[in-house]
Amino acid sequence: MRGPKSALIAVANSILTAGYYLLHRATTYPDLGPDYFDKRNPVRATHRLVKRLEALGHRVILEPRFIADASS
């Protein structure tokens, strides 16, 4: 079985499984927020966003926001 019906069944299964565990453990869903993955791996997010801007025709030059003090 392939196609949209199979995808629908897979998504429904994921939702039902998550709902089962939430009810079984008597807990609430911890919303991680819209920028969870960007905060989790900022280097990957930076590369992804640079590639996206370059694909739109921009030249991107990254400069460090904070310069580390070499004396300490």
Name the strand (E) or helix (H) holding 64: none
For residue 42, being part of any structural domain is answered with yes
pLDDT higher than 60, residue 39: yes
Helices (H) and strands (E) in the chain, counts: 3, 0
For residue 72, being part of any structural domain is answered with no
Which has more pLDDT, 54 or 68? 54
| Whether residues 26 and 37 fall in one domain | no
What pLDDT, on the 0 to 100 scale, is given for residue 10? 95
Four-CA torsion 59, 62, 63, 64, nearest 10 degrees = 170
| Whether residues 6 and 17 fall in one domain | yes
64 φ/ψ angles, rounded to the nearest 5 degrees: -65, 140
| Whether residues 39 and 60 fall in one domain | yes
| Of the candidates 38, 57, 36, the residue with the CA atom closest to the CA atom of residue 47 | 38
pLDDT higher than 80, residue 58: yes
For residue 53, being part of any structural domain is answered with yes
Q: Tens digit of pLDDT for each residue in 5-27? A: 999 999 999 999 999 999 999 99
Q: Which domain, by its residues, includes 6?
A: 1-30
Mean pLDDT over each residue of the chain, to the nearest integer: 90
For residue 70, being part of any structural domain is answered with no
Decide if 45 contacts 38 (C-beta within 8 A).
yes
Domain count, the chain: 2
